[in-house]
Amino acid sequence: MQHVEQRKWTIPGVSPDARKVAREAAKREHMELGAWLERAIRQATVVRMPKVDIRQPEDPRPHRRYF
């Protein structure tokens, strides 16, 4: 594994625990922290389209049984 210089992370309001979690997640995915954060931020901000129900609407006519 390549040694990467540790730099101070200076994002105000981000807890040390959140920083640790982000570093660990990036490491698990074999990504640099900056690239992982960029992807996570972009994925979190994507406008998600509501799921569309493609089933046919029920027939509004009353159910009739023929005997």
Domain ranges of the chain: 16-45
Tokens at 18, concatenated: 């959140």
Q: Is the pLDDT of residue 32 over 90?
A: yes
Q: Are 21 and 10 in contact (CB under 8 A)?
A: no
* Reported pTM: 0.54
Percent of the chain with pLDDT strictly greater than 90: 34
Contacts for 9-16: CB closer than 8 Å, 24+ residues apart: none
Residue ranges of alpha helices (H) inside 1-67 are 16-28, 33-45
* Stretch 6-21: mean pLDDT: 83
Cα distances (Å, whole numbers) of residue 58 to 8, 19, 55, 66? 60, 51, 9, 19
